[in-house]
Amino acid sequence: MPWTGVDIGGTLVKLVYFEPTDFINAEHEHEAEVETLRTIRHYLTSNTAYGKTGIRDVHLEIKNFLIHGRTGTLHFIRFPTCEMQAFLQLVKSKNLSSIAHTICGTGGGAYKFAQDFKNIVDMELEKYDELDCLITGIHYIDSKLPNECYYWSNPDPFNSEACEKVPFDFRNPYPYLVVNIGSGVSILAVKSQEDYGRVSGTSLGGGTFLGLCCLLTGCQTFEEAIEMASSGDSTQVDKLVRDIYGGDYDRFHLPGSTVASSFGQMNIPERRASVSKNDLARATLVTITNNIGSIARMCALNVGIERVVFVGNFLRVNPLAMKLLSFAMEYWSKGAIKALFLEHEGYFGAVGALVQLLNKNEE
């Protein structure tokens, strides 16, 4: 049978699906199960988009993946949480419940939609803590993929071309902070695979960025908001140190380019009239990343940890935010802290739920 883990967040649903590719040679498979698996495989591999909003992140899939003696492909799929009912109808139409009676889930939506899974597709949605699943997923994927972790060298918010992606050895990471940027932000201190806890967070996360961009620019999707931000100029919106001091603030070693007040120029009618939607999107991104970076830096200082890992779907198709976070962490820590990132970004909760299912099957 296939295995699935799902993380139902406030904005996005992240689904990890293990597609066995060796079922033809597996004597213990029932003929009906094999036929259902073939149907699912055909639907999955012949599409990268499902309906109007479902996306399979092909660049993240892991081939020749071994789970419990079975070889297959690990797929990573996402869709907006508001499309959950359409997803359940799709699961029903593909007859997935005939080969899987239980699905392990995490995130707030695992509680919200549990009854819908039972009523619509006749599947039990077993619920697991989202922070437990996050940490489990990170360690599980990192144990399988040696180049999962990386950082950006030479971070410069004014010259992103100077940044270079560099692999980082994450085999002995403890202790470290995890900054999980989803709709909001949770920050965990991880001392070992079993010893971790939430130390802080903020309501200003990826959902805030998208919501503000939709209000300020009229964009409709996260991808559109990021595209606009990539070509915008936040200095047309923000008030900088040089706008106040005429240059650097030497006493506290603050360069003139430092943001003194996010959106601080927007109280001036002439500046509001001249600013573009792209500028507003860029300023929103800078505001959110600066806030997250500042909180992460203070948490690292408070708990005495110098390794900070950023994850979450806010970082998807968003190298600009990664570079801004890298610059903020390096600048304010005077080079003591590097911002680390992971290739599978926002899928670790779903992977952790999948691991829970694997453990359950072993019992």
Handedness of CA 83, 316, 70, 142 (dihedral sign): negative
40 contacts: CB under 8 Å, gap ≥ 6:
2, 19, 94, 96
| Interatomic CA distance for residues 74 and 65, integer angstroms | 7
Decide if 120 contacts 97 (C-beta within 8 A): no
Known active-site residue 130 = yes
Helix (H, G, I), strand (E, B) or coil at 59: helix
Which ranges constitute the DSSP H helices of 122-221? Answer: 130-144, 206-217
321 contacts: CB under 8 Å, gap ≥ 6:
285, 288, 289, 314, 315
The DSSP secondary structure of 75-112, one letter per residue, reads EEEEEEGGGHHHHHHHHHHTTGGGT-SEEEEESTHHHH
Handedness of CA 264, 267, 270, 272 (dihedral sign): positive
Catalytic residue among 19, 130, 330, 345: 130
The string over 96-126, giving b where at least 16 C-beta atoms fall within 10 Å of a residue's C-beta and e elsewhere, is: bbebbeebbbbbebbeebbebbeebbebebb
Outline where DSSP puts E strands in 109-237.
124-128, 149-153, 164-167, 176-181, 185-190, 196-202
Which residue in 91, 125, 90, 85 sits closest to 107, CA to CA? 125
| Interatomic CA distance for residues 181 and 183, integer angstroms | 7
Token pair belonging to 209: 């960025």
| Cα Rg of the chain (Å, integer) | 22
Q: Give strand pairing partners of 239.
A: 261
Which residue in 359, 277, 291 sits closest to 325, CA to CA? 291
Residues annotated catalytic, as ranges: 130
